[in-house]
């Protein structure tokens, strides 16, 4: 029964995220090519681990290893000259930090590799920061409608995934609305 419940939870989450996608096909392509978008995390999916699952099942916003992040401000902001990540982390850390501010995937990078590749009906965007202390790789799978999944791989932690959507940065969105009015 548990696998069936997990399957329905994932299908429901994906369906809800598709309904809340923020962009259309042309806007998504433009944002990714211009390297200027915000990924808003809606759910976190930690790597399956019995000890972690026991802890997560005690949280009211967690179900079957899927943590609801809606209402939070977790995001990744990408521009041509910087990547700013502010995401939580749930899982095992192989090299724990003594600084509580280092919890999660939180960094600002000005030196990074960015690649965006168009597949049949989605984009694969890979970001690898070079100027942060932990070697990390962020891999986005983004649909034409703006729904996105993000996989974060860190050499010192278990991998973690996030579901959410992409959108234009708020400042840019306000400027384009003003231009349409003129």
Q: Please, are residues 13 and 163 in contact by the beta-carbon 8 Å criterion?
A: yes
47 DSSP 8-state letter: P
Reported pTM: 0.75
pLDDT at 55: 61
- Which of 135, 167, 140 shows the shortest CA–CA distance to 154? 135
Please state, for a pLDDT cut of 70, what percent of the chain lies above it: 69
Is pLDDT larger for residue 73 or for residue 58?
Answer: 73
88 DSSP 8-state letter: -
pLDDT tens profile 80-136 = 999 999 999 887 777 777 766 667 789 999 999 999 999 988 999 999 999 988 889
Mean pLDDT of 55-68: 64
Most distant CA atoms of the chain, gap in Å: 57
pLDDT tens profile 132-164 = 888 899 999 999 999 999 999 988 888 999 999
* Interatomic CA distance for residues 10 and 31, integer angstroms: 27
């Amino acid at each position: 029964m548990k696998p069936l419940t997990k399957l329905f939870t994932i299908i429901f989450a994906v369906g809800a995220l598709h309904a809340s996608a923020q962009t259309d096909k042309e806007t998504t392509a433009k944002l990714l090519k211009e390297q200027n978008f915000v990924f808003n995390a809606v759910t976190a999916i930690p790597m399956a681990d019995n000890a972690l699952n026991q802890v997560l099942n005690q949280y009211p916003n967690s179900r079957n290893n899927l943590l609801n992040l809606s209402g939070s401000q977790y995001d990744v902001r990408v521009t041509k000259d910087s990547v700013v990540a502010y995401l939580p982390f749930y899982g095992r850390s192989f090299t724990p930090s003594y600084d509580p501010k280092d919890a999660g995937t939180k960094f600002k990078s000005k030196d990074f590799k960015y690649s965006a590749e168009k597949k049949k009906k989605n984009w694969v965007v890979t970001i690898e920061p070079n100027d942060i202390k932990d070697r990390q790789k962020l891999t986005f799978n983004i649909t034409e409608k703006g729904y996105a999944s993000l996989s974060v791989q860190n050499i010192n932690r278990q991998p973690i995934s996030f579901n959410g959507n992409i959108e234009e940065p708020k400042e840019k969105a306000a400027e384009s609305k003003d231009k349409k009015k003129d």
